[in-house]
Amino acid sequence: MLVWQALILVFTLASSIWIARSLGPFELGRSGFILATVSQVLLVISVCPNTYAVRLIKQSANVEDAISLVVTGRAFVAIIYLLVLSLALVFGLIPAEWMDIVLLGSLLPILMAFQPLWLFQAFEKQVAQLKMSACIAAIVLVYTVSFIRKGGTADEELTARLIALLIGLIVGWWLIGKVNPFKYVKLRKLNRSLVEIWNSRTLFITQITMYVIVGLELPLMAYLLEIEELGKYRTATQLALGLNAFIAILPMIYYPEFIELKKQSNRLLWNRQKVLSSYLTISVIPVVVLVFVLGPMAFTWVFGETFSDAGIPFAILVCSKLVVLIAGVFAWGLWAGSKDLAILILFSVVGAVTLSSNILLIPRFGMMAASSIHFLGQFGILIVTFMMAKREGLKV
């Protein structure tokens, strides 16, 4: 398992570095803005969020029926999205200079929404999940090295990601043993699917607040500053997300186990969380020291002087991802206990503070403000989820 995680990290970092040095800050900012918008659209299409979908399958007596409800709901919303996009094109709402990359990027959220990551979680096929993620990362790397050169454009990066996600979609459903995902789209189940969408509304809103906390800073950089600043900051976020892809999957892997432990007793789940979080905390402390000592210098060496301003923000973002790793142990345990509303309230408060802080401070302090606010938001979530998990664990 660690080998596949390492491969994902290596492939992701290598492609990120190649793309950044080839495109430069402006084109990297343009593609970054599209990908940030894609993330926003993905939030809407991914109704019945993965966390809810996993729980639905684990608690369902008819797994095939549960899969169909999730896929049908997402297909329904995807069709609405395509209709809205078509109207935007017909009425000329998309600027001509953005048309090519908007069209390329418009397909990405659909491909992402139908990736079967939630099925890998539900069936506890973690190695297969890692294989699929490694496949996607490898395709992006091979394409970028083969076709993207110095002076490349944003549409070339988006093409690489589009091809990788399409192949990943096919490979992923094949690995899960459900070769054709479209067979699960059934109109007669739409009413029941809409019921499940409504039932998952708390997690859906939580997902939006999570995006406000960890993702909205990217488009805000473009709105409040310049595309070039977004391009620079994106290099820092990409490396941090590359690390996140390696480490954040660990708490997710334990989610099915947490559900089973919660069924047995609160104490068992809490004891498991204490052990995991202790090991993780001890492991990340030396990493934090190394990141701040060597991170900014290594960042400049890798990306070049053009991106040197993002060196310290990179170190701060890496630390925030390490905090997410530990907080995930407690958050996923709370989700296992269906504490959806409590987490929603927490994330909503943190999201509101994060959003207002970004709007006020990014115009003045730029990347330093965005990265620092990001870290403080994650640290706040860690403290509160720890306290909530402890309270749950001490219940009889």
Task: Please give the C-alpha separations between residue 159 and each of 204, 263, 275, in angstroms, as whole numbers.
Answer: 29, 45, 43
The pLDDT value recorded for residue 384 is: 94
On whether both 244 and 274 belong to a single domain, the answer is yes
Is residue 156 within 8 A of residue 147, CB to CB? The reply is yes
Cα Dmax for the chain:
63
**Residues constituting the chain:** 396
On whether both 178 and 80 belong to a single domain, the answer is yes
Mean per-residue pLDDT for 301-328?
89
Is residue 92 within 8 A of residue 212, CB to CB? The reply is no
Q: How close are the terminal C-alpha atoms of the chain, in Å?
A: 36
What's the domain range around 364?
A: 200-396
* Sequence-ordered list of residues with C-beta below 8 angstroms from that of 368, at least 6 positions apart, any chain: 312, 313, 316
What does the block give as tokens for 201? 């509304």
On whether both 90 and 238 belong to a single domain, the answer is no
On whether both 120 and 223 belong to a single domain, the answer is no
The pLDDT value recorded for residue 22 is: 93
Q: Among 166, 198, 230, where does a domain finish?
A: 198
The pLDDT value recorded for residue 333 is: 86
On whether both 276 and 184 belong to a single domain, the answer is no
On whether both 9 and 60 belong to a single domain, the answer is yes
Q: For the segment 20-44, what is each residue's pLDDT rounded down to a tens digit? A: 999 999 999 999 899 988 988 998 8
Q: What's the distance, CA 21 to chain centroid?
A: 24
Of 15, 11, 332, nearest to 147 by C-alpha is 15
On whether both 17 and 149 belong to a single domain, the answer is yes
On whether both 159 and 231 belong to a single domain, the answer is no
Of 310, 284, 316, nearest to 297 by C-alpha is 310
On whether both 295 and 346 belong to a single domain, the answer is yes
Strongest mean pLDDT among 46-50, 66-70, 304-308: 66-70
Sign of the alpha-carbon dihedral angle for 87, 91, 94, 99 = positive
Q: Per-residue confidence at 72, pLDDT binned at 50, 70, 90? A: very high
The pLDDT value recorded for residue 248 is: 64
Q: Among 147, 173, 198, where does a domain finish?
A: 198
Residue type (1 letter), 270: W
- Cα separation, 337 vs 320, in Å, equals 25
What does the block give as tokens for 26? 């402006």
On whether both 101 and 237 belong to a single domain, the answer is no
Is residue 381 within 8 A of residue 327, CB to CB? The reply is yes
Is residue 120 within 8 A of residue 141, CB to CB? The reply is no
Phi, psi of 314, rounded to the nearest 5 degrees: -60, -45
Task: Please give the C-alpha separations between residue 244 and each of 6, 44, 176, 226, in angstroms, as whole numbers.
Answer: 12, 23, 24, 26
Mean per-residue pLDDT for 163-190?
88
The pLDDT value recorded for residue 108 is: 93
* Residue 396: Cβ-neighbour burial (10 angstroms; 0-12, 13-18, 19+): exposed
* Sequence-ordered list of residues with C-beta below 8 angstroms from that of 244, at least 6 positions apart, any chain: 321, 324
- Cα separation, 358 vs 355, in Å, equals 5
The pLDDT value recorded for residue 332 is: 86
Domain count within the chain: 2
On whether both 248 and 368 belong to a single domain, the answer is yes
Q: Among 175, 198, 221, where does a domain finish?
A: 198
Of 3, 25, 51, nearest to 252 by C-alpha is 51
Long-range contacts, stretch 355-363, CB < 8 angstroms, 24+ apart: 355/212, 355/216, 358/216, 358/217, 358/220, 359/220, 359/224, 362/217, 362/220, 362/221, 362/224, 362/225, 363/224, 363/225
On whether both 184 and 224 belong to a single domain, the answer is no
The pLDDT value recorded for residue 356 is: 95
Q: Among the listed ranges 71-75, 92-96, 207-211, 238-242, which one has the minimum average pLDDT value? A: 238-242
